[in-house]
């Protein structure tokens, strides 16, 4: 496990155990508390507008393709050099947190470009975007108008309540919102600006995916069982479960070994001195 992956794994474990241990509270209470703590979170409840766009390689992708998964959706102007790259980096942080847990197979990240310029040039800009900003293509896709109408991306953004307005210098002026859509295609939250805490969106998605937890610490056990059912994470758990006791036992054995060495050393010194004294005494005894 790399130095970068291990802290994310620990974060994931903490997130699951905290969410599971909060079983005494309903999911609605958790979401309400979350909104009260972060003023950039807007809870909503309506059917998410559908879309059918293309990825940079010409593959058709629609919102319906992700039914059964939670969807984290954002819009950017692909040629933007200011706020849009920061938005992508924020999404990458959230994705890293999600992918450190078993939620990674249940969450799809979608970015939609609103560019109206030449489609081929837009696709070229998009192809390197994910790698530059640290987004994992395993569960992230970048979509744009492709062979469709030039304003397909912007019209999709408008359907989600956003305005991407062209400016005289060729850029687009727009707000920043990250949308969360549940497994049934229902819009559940809008995270505004870049100021919300990434872990809150991660925790929100976790609550959508697992709204029901057993009360008290039984919930924590359920979380671990869910984790164990994921083959990729099984060896991580085995490493933690088996590795920690071995580490403790190794530490105790090393401590005992050092203590024994310290106790043996003075005794050895005294034995050597006693032998030397006896030898000296024998050599100084007069002959009969």
What is the arithmetic mean of pLDDT over 156-170?
A: 90
Residue 283 included in any domain: yes
Residue 224 included in any domain: no
Q: Kindly state whether residues 199 and 76 are assigned to the same domain.
A: yes
What CA–CA distance (Å, rounded) separates 245 from 19? Answer: 26
The C-alpha R_g of the chain, in whole angstroms, comes to 30
What CA–CA distance (Å, rounded) separates 136 from 96? Answer: 8
Residue 110 included in any domain: yes
Encode pLDDT of 72-96 as tens digits. Answer: 999 999 999 889 999 999 999 999 9
Phi, psi (rounded to 5 degrees) for 62? -130, 160
Domain that holds residue 199: 24-212
Residue 65 — pLDDT band, cuts 50, 70, 90?
very high
Q: Kindly state whether residues 252 and 139 are assigned to the same domain.
A: no
Q: Kindly state whether residues 121 and 242 are assigned to the same domain.
A: no
Show Cβ contacts of residue 86 under 8 Å, excluding neighbours closer than 6 positions.
Answer: 194
Within 22-164, where are the H helices? 27-37, 83-99, 119-127, 129-133, 152-159
Q: What is the pLDDT of residue 252?
A: 81
Burial of 15 (0-12, 13-18, 19+ CB in 10 A): buried
Residue 77 included in any domain: yes
pTM of the model: 0.67
* Range with the largest mean pLDDT of 19-28, 77-86, 160-169: 77-86
Q: Kindly state whether residues 126 and 204 are assigned to the same domain.
A: yes
Q: What is the number of other CB atoms lying within 10 angstroms of the CB of residue 8? A: 17
Domain boundary among 182, 212, 242: 212
Q: What is the pLDDT of residue 12?
A: 52
What CA–CA distance (Å, rounded) separates 194 from 198? Answer: 9
Residue 139 — pLDDT band, cuts 50, 70, 90?
very high
Average the pLDDT over each of 59-63, 165-169, 211-215 and give the range with the smallest value: 211-215
Q: What is the pLDDT of residue 71?
A: 98
Distance of CA 224 to the CA centre of its chain: 17
Residue 130 included in any domain: yes
Show Cβ contacts of residue 3 under 8 Å, excluding neighbours closer than 6 positions.
Answer: none
Q: Measure CA of the first residue to CA of the last residue in the chain; give whole Å.
A: 78
Residue 264 included in any domain: yes
Phi, psi (rounded to 5 degrees) for 280? -65, -40
Q: Kindly state whether residues 162 and 58 are assigned to the same domain.
A: yes
Q: Kindly state whether residues 55 and 156 are assigned to the same domain.
A: yes
Contact 91, 135 (CB under 8 A): yes
Report residue 198 as tokens: 């990434």
Encode pLDDT of 165-193 as tens digits. Answer: 888 877 898 999 999 999 999 999 999 99
Q: Kindly state whether residues 135 and 199 are assigned to the same domain.
A: yes
- Total number of domains constituting the chain: 2
pLDDT, averaged across the chain:
80
Q: Kindly state whether residues 241 and 104 are assigned to the same domain.
A: no
Encode pLDDT of 239-287 as tens digits. Answer: 666 666 777 787 788 888 888 877 766 655 555 555 565 566 555 555 5
Q: Kindly state whether residues 146 and 241 are assigned to the same domain.
A: no
Average the pLDDT over each of 128-132, 144-148, 273-277 and give the range with the smallest value: 273-277
Q: Kindly state whether residues 203 and 265 are assigned to the same domain.
A: no
Distance of CA 265 to the CA centre of its chain: 52
Residue 100 included in any domain: yes
Report residue 210 as tokens: 């697992």
Cα dihedral 88, 93, 96, 98 in deg (nearest 10): -100
Q: What is the pLDDT of residue 23?
A: 41
């Amino acid at each position: 496990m790399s130095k970068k992956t291990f802290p994310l794994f620990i974060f994931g474990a903490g997130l699951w155990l905290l969410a599971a241990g909060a079983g005494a509270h309903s999911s609605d209470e958790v979401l309400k508390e979350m909104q009260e703590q972060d003023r950039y979170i807007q809870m909503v409840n309506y059917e998410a507008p559908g879309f059918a766009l293309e990825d940079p390689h010409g593959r058709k992708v629609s919102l319906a393709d992700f039914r059964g998964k939670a969807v984290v959706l954002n819009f950017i102007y692909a040629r933007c050099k200011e706020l849009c790259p920061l938005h992508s980096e924020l999404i990458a942080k959230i994705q890293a947190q999600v992918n450190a847990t078993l939620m990674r197979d249940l969450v799809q990240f979608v970015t939609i470009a609103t560019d109206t310029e030449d489609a081929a040039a837009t696709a070229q800009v998009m192809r390197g975007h994910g790698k530059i900003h640290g987004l994992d293509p395993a569960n992230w896709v970048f979509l744009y108008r492709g062979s469709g109408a030039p304003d397909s991306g912007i019209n999709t953004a408008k359907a989600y309540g956003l305005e991407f307005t062209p400016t005289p210098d060729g850029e687009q002026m727009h707000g920043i919102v990250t949308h969360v859509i549940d497994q049934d295609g229902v819009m559940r939250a809008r995270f505004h600006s870049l100021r919300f805490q990434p872990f809150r969106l991660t925790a929100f998605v976790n609550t959508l995916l697992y709204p029901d937890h057993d009360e008290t610490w039984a919930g924590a056990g359920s979380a671990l069982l869910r984790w164990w059912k994921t083959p990729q994470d099984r060896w991580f758990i085995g490493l933690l479960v088996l590795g920690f006791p071995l580490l403790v036992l190794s530490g105790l054995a090393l401590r005992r070994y050092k203590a024994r060495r310290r106790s043996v050393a003075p005794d050895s010194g005294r034995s050597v001195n006693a032998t030397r004294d006896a030898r000296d005494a024998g050599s100084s005894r007069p002959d009969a």
